[in-house]
Amino acid sequence: MSRLSVKNHDRDAAGYKYIYPVNSRRSGGLSIGINFNTNNACNWRCVYCQVPDLTIGAAPELDFELLAIELTDFLQDVLHGTFYQRFEIESDRRVIKDIAISGNGEPTSVDDFSKAIALITQIVEQANIPHPFQYVLITNGSLMHKPDVQAGLQVFNQYQGQVWYKLDSGTDVGREAVNHAGLSLLKQRENLIISAKLCSTWVQTCVLGFKPGKGQGGLLEALEQQAYLSLLAEVIEQVPLQGVMLYSLARPSLQPEASTITTATLQQLNDFAESIREIDLLVTVS
């Protein structure tokens, strides 16, 4: 068993199929991850993704009974067992900050998404977590048009859940280069608006660039930043957003483009954050 650090996001760390702990740098404590995409399949292929052997596809059929058993067992271990001691979690991080539906692919691609959300919230509420915590759905937003996904967000909203909506580009060229996504700019804007109407929504953005001669796109380019700001300005004219979470590469990519992408400096992140604040949005930088 290894120490659970902010750079160790091993999905198998706790020995479960669906549940994994993260010592989260962004949350500042324990994030309990729930991974529907145990087959390492996603409908996007982001160049910075740390999932090994990533394939294009959807989440496999979910074993609801096993998910319930694992989540119940893990919560009991954290709340009443020796989890923090075994994984050598720092004393100031021994608090559940969020229940994050994320994992090794796009979680909203699972069948019966709304049923899964209802089950998770039921089990978590029964566990009586003593500290304030947040439900989080980390998504690329590509399936927000599906009725079952929208139904799941409505349940999520009943428990003050948040959507962390991936937005890495405001252009079709940038989105194809960074995310390898077929989603159009128009559809991405529409889906972000759907998300914000149904549930509290943060935009989550990875700022990166490409080495000279290795490609174009990424928010280290001035034109990409302008398009991104324009997209956000259009969205907040129609719906409120909670804000933007800016970050850059923290761990090595496991995609073929790993050697072609460049990370943003803290100064570059802060400069871009100031530009976003000028359109009256809250920004966090990590």
Q: What is the pLDDT along the chain (286 residues), one digit of tens a residue?
A: 455 544 444 555 678 999 999 987 667 789 999 999 999 999 999 999 999 999 999 999 999 999 999 999 999 999 999 999 999 999 989 999 999 999 899 999 999 999 999 999 999 999 999 878 999 999 999 999 999 999 999 999 999 999 999 999 999 999 999 999 988 999 999 999 999 999 999 999 999 999 998 888 999 999 999 999 999 999 999 999 999 999 999 888 999 998 999 999 999 999 999 999 999 999 999 8
Q: Say if residues 201 and 212 touch (Cβ distance below 8 Å).
A: no
Strands 261-263, 243-247: parallel, antiparallel or unpaired by DSSP? unpaired
Separation of CA 15 from chain center: 22
pTM: 0.93
282 sits in the region (left: phi over 0; alpha: psi -120 to 50; else beta) called: beta
CA-to-CA distance for 112 and 106, rounded, in angstroms?
14
Q: What is the pLDDT of residue 12?
A: 57
Q: Which among 208, 216, 226 has a CA at the least distance from the CA of 265? A: 208
Strands (E), 110-269: 134-139, 162-166, 200-206, 208-210, 243-247, 261-263
Q: Which two tokens stand for residue 153?
A: 């967000």
Q: What pLDDT was estimated at residue 1?
A: 45
Q: What type of residue is 127? A: A
Whether 212 contacts 261, CB under 8 Å: no
Token code pair at residue 180: 């390898």
The pLDDT value recorded for residue 9 is: 46
pLDDT for 14: 75
Q: Give me the residue spans of the domains in the chain.
A: 19-206
Backbone angles phi, psi at 71, to 5 degrees: -65, -40
Which CATH number applies to 19-206?
3.20.20.70
Q: The tokens of 232 are what?
A: 């956000």
